[in-house]
Structure 1
Amino acid sequence: MTSLPTPPQAPMVWNHTPDSIKSYTEQLINEARALDDKIASLSETATIESVIKPYADLENKQAGLINQLSFYQHVSADKELRDASNESEEKFNAYSIEAGLREDVFKSIHKVYVDTKDSQDLDAETKRFIQKVNKQYERNGLAFPLETREKIKELKQQLSTLAIKFSKNLGEETEFILFTKEQLKGVPEDILSQFEEVKTDDGEIKLKMTFKYPDIFPVLKFASNPDTRKIAFSGDQNKVPENSEILVKAVKLRAELAQLLGYNNFSEYILEERMAKTPEIVNNFLADLRVKLKPLGDKELFKLKELKKADLKARGLPTENTDYYVWDQRYYHTKMLETEYKVDEMKIAEYFPMSNTISKMLEIYETIFNLKFVEIIKEDKLYNTWHEEVKQFAVWKLDNQEDPEFVGYIYFDLHPRKGKYGHAANFGLSPGYTDIFTGARVYPSTSLVCNFTRDKKDKPSLLKHDEVVTFFHELGHGIHDLLGKTKYSRFSGTSVSWDFVEMPSQFLEYFTWCEDQLKSLSQHYQTGKPLPDELIQSLIKSKNVNGAMFNLRQLHFGLFDMSLHTSKDGNVDIDSLWNDLREKVALVKNGDVKTKGYGSFGHMMGGYASGYYGYMWSQVFAADIFYSKFKGNPLNVKSGLEYRDKILSRGGSREEMDNLRDLLGRDPNSDAFLTELGISS
């Protein structure tokens, strides 16, 4: 292969100020309004050339900058920039709602739709584009009188404001709990050493546990004092108290919006455009899964209770109370892995120093998808990011060794800091597309935003295995973003049905449980040796330990979501639903603790309303693909390229079910998914 050339497209520039964000926001909205005015004037003469091409062109060209301006709120270290980014997103959302209710624009769009819907001359993606844009306006209620449309606009704007405020509250959250070292007994010293020491008013030294992942999860997993775990769990669940009221209000507004638009409930409105199509199909799917999971869940719970009883007895504590609480789950699951499966999470982490693991991880993606990641170092003139810790890569496709094809840019923002998004996620920054008028390719950019520990003076950042799984998952979204190769930005990469978007990431998680891949990914930070075979075997055997309990927890979230959004008026006793439903479905007790954990359940305000079921729905497809195409040989390049080209590259430009049939040679089924969980179909 010849050396890789300079990328044909420069990376995004990250030099915005609060003032420039405001200026660009106004400029982009003015450009969009001007085009809408022009399109509106063409209702009698509208054609693809005069309406659809300019509409698509502006959407393509504005998408990246709009995403970028809104992205700063999640990652910038500058609060003023984060606030400006929040305000920018509010303005974009408000204008989007206003524009989506313009009847005069819809008339022109609809004329082209009617004129072309039976055309044999249009390519399939352009026809799909026109159909989706037309449907978008129809679903905004443009068939209703002006008074109704104004109410729809008002409700949508209220919901947009609430969603942004909810996200901002989570991003700015700085709450913590102070524990004595004795209260944190059992938590590894490596973890405790990263907790800030605080002197209380009475002179006592305590350790500060925040609710960021690197702090809260180890406490819930390792703190032997049940009261400590209870306090940590309750504090985490009840953080950002104002968000609980935001969700309550949003659920009522969504129900009102659905009724105005002529739907029985918000779920019916949302699912119309998803793979599942109806609430009945989703509820049947979840109910069927619950029936199949519960017997195995009961068996797992019995073993966990026995483990808890033995643990309490060994420590000389009372064993009369046989209840198994929600704050017990991570602790006794971890203990079971250690005692019965010899899985020592902290020991295994020594084999996954972050820098090396990421390099090896990229090699796997490079192999199965025929890619090359080239890190752009700070000395390189192409290097440009929003924070000094961010890593930047140019990505190439090597199908033709002599003529490599540029794919796009990916960024890794991996460590926690004040004001930064607190979980793990992929953010699509700039979509890929083909320029409507020149035919030139415009390449995508995407970012992984995570919260892993930093390197220490005497030890590199070490990833626990579940963090390796998380990284694989989020990188799956990033690769989907990069490999989408569609004409239109609205179909690029992860722009697929919301109940399919998790599938590529869930599929790639399987690689973190394969013997050969664990061997190649691991390298002890001191000795350089890979994970020993016995540790690998123990880890693999542990994969689905308490898997029914885990999936029943997911079912709790999915059923909670569907219960909220199938209500006709949104008047739901949300506290009872959250707490009582968990006891019924997830099999764990709440004790005397009632929480408002839904106030930090970001999915409910971040696009997953009536969509959380999608995590389990898409797992069915992920399992089917892995078992059918990769289980015998995970690094099967032929299968990898076929999957790349039939699933990832097509993005949302075709129906997902058609892509699945094309890849599998048949309709997908749930056999592999049930086999994976240890349940016979």
Structure 2
Amino acid sequence: MSKFLTFKCDLESFIQELNKIIESNNKEVESLLKQETKTYLSFVKPMQIIEEDLENFFTPLSHLDSVNNSTETQKVYSDSLPIITEYSTKLSQNIDIYNSYKEIFENEKETLNYAQKRVVELNIQHFELSGAHLDTASKKRLEEINIRKSELSNDFSQNLLDATNAFEYIIDNEEDVDGIPQSDKESAKFEEDGVIKYKFTLQMPSYIAYMTYGKNREIREKLYKAYVTRAPENAKLIDEILALKDEMSKLLGFENYVAYSLVSKMAKDDKEVLGFLNNLLINSKEQAAKELIELQNVAPQSLQSYDTAFYAEILKKEQYDIDEEEYRPYFEQQSVVNGMFTFLDKLFGIKFVAINENLWDEKALSYEVHVSGKVRAKIFLDLEARESKRGGAWMHNWQAHYRDEKDKEHFASAFVVCNFPSSTPSSPSLLRHDDVVTLFHEMGHAIHHLLSSVNENEVSGVNGVEWDAVEFPSQFLENFAYEPEVLKIFALHHETKEVIPNQMIEKLVKSKNFLSAIGMLRQLEFSIFDLKIHTDATKEQEVQNILDKLREDTALVKTPEYNKFQNGFAHIFAGGYAAGYYSYKWAEVLSADAFYAVMDEGVFDSKTAQNYFNIILNYGGAKSMKTLFKELMGREADTDKLLRLNGIE
């Protein structure tokens, strides 16, 4: 019998249970190390499973802290971080475990299958990157660094959430909300002392609504300033995070954190990555400059950072006769979700069956994933914004598909989290097309994790995938959110049930690459900044100087001095993208190339789409993405496809 995990998290007993599991794991590791003859099945397999079980226990807490954040979740999560970090650091530095993996690899490399071989190879690399070979004092210092880094990342993220929730701007003048879409006005509206007022916040749906449609420039500037100056206390955390990463890298024998980070990625070194990014920068700047002139032409005064979204919306209407707000009635949230499921069934033959269960929020949903009529995985969706939820969108993998030492099959599960406009009994959640793209993106990550049939959990699904390839499946899927055949599946008017007209689809497709070169420069700014600070900076002023100098090349509209974007750059200071933010663009080359191959064959008649399912999704991290991409396409990736996808000549 196969099994799913049940979502549960008892906050009261969590720390006690965590300590019990860790104590049990430590005893199990000692017992495994005492074996005279260690084999893959007698040593590596049980090591994988005890780690998987710990991860499966811990994930509901980290998920809950992100989607239903409270004083209680914060405390339990922050209390558990030192415990789990100390445990994992000691484990990853255990010279006996490291030597056991090396010994097993030497003895069994001819008989291990490809997935088993990759598990052992990645473990050996992981132990070397964790300092298993270092002296006792260095190991001790690495342990201290890891514990402190995990605390700082958590603090960074919490500061950002607290700052986002702390700000609100109240408008009581009806003229100042003139032009704001009706659904956004309804979300912002409240009554106080018999007066109708509107509350705008830094929560993404609210913030974007005013920045895009709000006519009052002073209010836009106030909102913008509040957004880009959030969590000023994070500046000191950045100093400490960078200093610790630099110290850690040098302890492990690397010149800097970038060199350390790239060892486990597809890219060879920083020269290759910077060359790749600078090539995109050179190819995009001329078109970006032209786009800026067009944008400036519709503005009555010199453009500032808080003007760009507002005038971009005016220019978009002018160039394409497209009004984002006209589209939202066609993108009712549940219709989009159901239509996306239908599309995935048509493309890959996978079905989603709703499950009725109590979850952490009444609007969270769960589904079984069926392939060829059989249950294969489980997915949780939590799509609407609320105060207790961190901003942004993400996929969080939970269990991986694997077979245990008794050959019992375990199913994969994952969470997809977004921050779409909230539905109420009287108004549905109507999405912007950008939201639809976001949902497809996160679902691309999810099916990458859920549809792997690999039996070794450490390389199943997204586990073991190189970080600069992990965005490939998400970006591949998001491209279909612009395809007419796909849009017609789910873009139905939520009141009339009319399918979105062809004319509206044509406008949407034409506008896809609107200001795309400016957008490219922005992403390149983030990517190059990330690499440079992890090479050269350990102090706040150094970080700021690097950003200021870089913006001379990438920011066509002068950025205000008060903009401290870095204090909110959670991807690299509270997430897994440190010295790896370039991965979005690197993976986009793979996704653009594979996407055009499918489109050239016809979306629902594509042999490449079926091969993608059988190769990329099926193998997960059990083979290097470099190998898998070659299996899929029969060649290396074509960089020019990325420029074509972005409409850059």
Q: What whole-Å deviation, never above 9, does each CA across 1:437-456 have from its counterpart, x for those lacking one?
A: 22221001111111112224
Q: How does 1:318-333 map to 2 (within 5 A)?
A: 319=301, 322=302, 324-333=303-312
Tell me if the contact between 1:483 and 1:649 (Cα under 8 Å) persists in the aligned partners.
yes
Q: What's 1:406 paired with? A: 375
Determine if the alignment matches structure 1 residue 164 to structure 2 residue 154. yes
- Secondary structure (helix, strand or coil) at the match of 2:513 reads coil
1:585 alignment partner AA: T
Q: What's 2:438 paired with? A: 470
Q: What's 2:134 paired with? A: 144
Tell me: CA distance 1:198–1:290, structure 2 relative to 1, closer, same or farther (3 Å).
farther
How many residue pairs get matched? 644
- Picking from 301, 324, 349, the partner of 1:345 is 324
Q: How does 1:450-465 map to 2 (within 5 A)?
A: 450-465=418-433
Deviation at 1:129, TM superposition (A): 0.9
Find the aligned partners of 1:12 and 1:337 in 2 and give their Cα distance: 47
Find the aligned partners of 2:420 and 2:103 in 1 and give their Cα distance: 52
Q: What whole-Å deviation, never above 9, does each CA across 1:158-198 have from its counterpart, x for those lacking one?
A: 11111122223334441223242444443223212212548
Q: What's 1:628 paired with? A: 597
1:191 alignment partner AA: D
- Picking from 499, 521, 539, the partner of 1:530 is 499
Tell me: CA distance 1:256–1:129, structure 2 relative to 1, closer, same or farther (3 Å).
same
Deviation at 1:457, TM superposition (A): 4.1
Deviation at 1:107, TM superposition (A): 2.8
1:354 alignment partner AA: Q
Tell me if the contact between 2:3 and 2:410 (Cα under 8 Å) persists in the aligned partners.
no
- Secondary structure (helix, strand or coil) at the match of 2:168 reads strand
Find the aligned partners of 2:184 and 2:584 in 1 and give their Cα distance: 30
Tell me: CA distance 1:544–1:671, structure 2 relative to 1, closer, same or farther (3 Å).
same
Tell me if the contact between 2:615 and 2:628 (Cα under 8 Å) persists in the aligned partners.
yes
Deviation at 1:387, TM superposition (A): 1.9
- Picking from 56, 62, 68, the partner of 2:60 is 68
1:297 alignment partner AA: A
Tell me: CA distance 1:515–1:48, structure 2 relative to 1, closer, same or farther (3 Å).
closer
- Secondary structure (helix, strand or coil) at the match of 1:484 reads coil
Deviation at 1:288, TM superposition (A): 0.9
Q: What's 2:527 paired with? A: 558
Tell me: CA distance 1:412–1:423, structure 2 relative to 1, closer, same or farther (3 Å).
same
Tell me if the contact between 2:593 and 2:637 (Cα under 8 Å) persists in the aligned partners.
yes
Tell me if the contact between 1:113 and 1:134 (Cα under 8 Å) persists in the aligned partners.
no
Q: How does 1:517-596 map to 2 (within 5 A)?
A: 517-567=486-536, 573-591=542-560, 593-596=561-564
Q: What's 2:72 paired with? A: 80
Q: What's 1:368 paired with? A: 347
Tell me if the contact between 2:317 and 2:323 (Cα under 8 Å) persists in the aligned partners.
yes
Tell me: CA distance 1:596–1:665, structure 2 relative to 1, closer, same or farther (3 Å).
same
Tell me if the contact between 2:377 and 2:413 (Cα under 8 Å) persists in the aligned partners.
yes
Find the aligned partners of 2:13 and 2:400 in 1 and give their Cα distance: 22
Q: What's 2:11 paired with? A: 18
Tell me if the contact between 1:72 and 1:85 (Cα under 8 Å) persists in the aligned partners.
no
Question: Unpaired segments of 5 or more residues in structure 1?
Answer: 1-7, 313-318, 378-382, 399-403
- Picking from 628, 636, 639, the partner of 1:670 is 639
Find the aligned partners of 1:620 and 1:254 in 2 and give their Cα distance: 29
Deviation at 1:524, TM superposition (A): 0.8
Tell me if the contact between 2:601 and 2:607 (Cα under 8 Å) persists in the aligned partners.
no
Determine if the alignment matches structure 1 residue 299 to structure 2 residue 278. no
Deviation at 1:268, TM superposition (A): 0.4
Q: What's 1:4 paired with? A: none
Tell me: CA distance 1:361–1:335, structure 2 relative to 1, closer, same or farther (3 Å).
same
Tell me if the contact between 2:239 and 2:538 (Cα under 8 Å) persists in the aligned partners.
no
Determine if the alignment matches structure 1 residue 249 to structure 2 residue 229. no
Tell me: CA distance 1:466–1:478, structure 2 relative to 1, closer, same or farther (3 Å).
same
Q: What's 1:392 paired with? A: 366
Q: What whole-Å deviation, never above 9, does each CA across 1:323-343 have from its counterpart, x for those lacking one?
A: x32222212221111121011
1:449 alignment partner AA: V
1:122 alignment partner AA: L
Determine if the alignment matches structure 1 residue 47 to structure 2 residue 21. no
Tell me: CA distance 1:571–1:268, structure 2 relative to 1, closer, same or farther (3 Å).
farther
Find the aligned partners of 1:469 and 1:568 in 2 and give their Cα distance: 35
Find the aligned partners of 1:530 and 1:548 in 2 and give their Cα distance: 32
Tell me if the contact between 2:331 and 2:431 (Cα under 8 Å) persists in the aligned partners.
yes
Deviation at 1:157, TM superposition (A): 1.6
Tell me: CA distance 1:524–1:588, structure 2 relative to 1, closer, same or farther (3 Å).
same
Deviation at 1:594, TM superposition (A): 1.8
- Secondary structure (helix, strand or coil) at the match of 1:409 reads strand
Q: What's 2:102 paired with? A: 110
- Picking from 398, 408, 422, the partner of 1:440 is 408
Q: What's 1:315 paired with? A: none
- Secondary structure (helix, strand or coil) at the match of 2:604 reads coil
Tell me: CA distance 1:568–1:388, structure 2 relative to 1, closer, same or farther (3 Å).
closer
Tell me: CA distance 1:632–1:223, structure 2 relative to 1, closer, same or farther (3 Å).
farther
Tell me if the contact between 2:204 and 2:392 (Cα under 8 Å) persists in the aligned partners.
yes
Greater alpha carbon shift after TM alignment, 578-587 vs 478-487: 578-587
- Secondary structure (helix, strand or coil) at the match of 1:392 reads strand
Q: How does 1:113-192 map to 2 (within 5 A)?
A: 113-116=105-108, 119-173=109-163, 174-180=165-171, 181=173, 182-192=175-185
- Secondary structure (helix, strand or coil) at the match of 1:667 reads coil
Q: What whole-Å deviation, never above 9, does each CA across 1:470-494 have from its counterpart, x for those lacking one?
A: 1111111111111122122221212
Tell me: CA distance 1:358–1:572, structure 2 relative to 1, closer, same or farther (3 Å).
same
Q: How does 1:506-525 map to 2 (within 5 A)?
A: 506-525=475-494
Deviation at 1:11, TM superposition (A): 4.1
Q: What's 2:570 paired with? A: 602
Deviation at 1:375, TM superposition (A): 0.7
2:116 alignment partner AA: T
Find the aligned partners of 2:307 and 2:606 in 1 and give their Cα distance: 43
Find the aligned partners of 1:195 and 1:678 in 2 and give their Cα distance: 36
Greater alpha carbon shift after TM alignment, 581-590 vs 439-448: 581-590
- Secondary structure (helix, strand or coil) at the match of 2:206 reads helix
- Secondary structure (helix, strand or coil) at the match of 2:220 reads helix
- Secondary structure (helix, strand or coil) at the match of 1:669 reads coil
- Secondary structure (helix, strand or coil) at the match of 2:636 reads coil
1:351 alignment partner AA: Y
Q: What's 2:202 paired with? A: 211
Deviation at 1:62, TM superposition (A): 3.1
2:98 alignment partner AA: F
Deviation at 1:150, TM superposition (A): 1.5
Identity of aligned residues (%): 29
Q: What's 1:401 paired with? A: none
- Secondary structure (helix, strand or coil) at the match of 2:187 reads coil
Q: What's 1:277 paired with? A: 268
Deviation at 1:575, TM superposition (A): 2.6
Find the aligned partners of 1:571 and 1:260 in 2 and give their Cα distance: 23
Q: What's 1:641 paired with? A: 610
Q: What whole-Å deviation, never above 9, does each CA across 1:395-441 have from its counterpart, x for those lacking one?
A: 1002xxxxx22111111111122321221111112111111x22221
When normalised by structure 1's length, the TM-score is: 0.90
Determine if the alignment matches structure 1 residue 100 to structure 2 residue 92. yes
Find the aligned partners of 2:210 and 2:15 in 1 and give their Cα distance: 42
Question: Unpaired segments of 5 or more residues in structure 2?
Answer: none
Tell me if the contact between 1:73 and 1:83 (Cα under 8 Å) persists in the aligned partners.
no
Q: What's 1:316 paired with? A: none
Determine if the alignment matches structure 1 residue 59 to structure 2 residue 51. yes
Deviation at 1:199, TM superposition (A): 5.7
Structure having the larger proportion of residues in helix:
2
Find the aligned partners of 1:613 and 1:65 in 2 and give their Cα distance: 32
Find the aligned partners of 2:494 and 2:462 in 1 and give their Cα distance: 35
Find the aligned partners of 2:150 and 2:634 in 1 and give their Cα distance: 42
Tell me: CA distance 1:177–1:61, structure 2 relative to 1, closer, same or farther (3 Å).
closer
Tell me if the contact between 2:258 and 2:535 (Cα under 8 Å) persists in the aligned partners.
yes
When normalised by structure 2's length, the TM-score is: 0.94
Greater alpha carbon shift after TM alignment, 460-469 vs 57-66: 57-66
- Secondary structure (helix, strand or coil) at the match of 1:446 reads strand
- Aligned CA-pair RMSD: 2.1
1:386 alignment partner AA: W
Q: What whole-Å deviation, never above 9, does each CA across 1:199-220 have from its counterpart, x for those lacking one?
A: 69xx987532221111011111
Tell me if the contact between 2:52 and 2:399 (Cα under 8 Å) persists in the aligned partners.
no
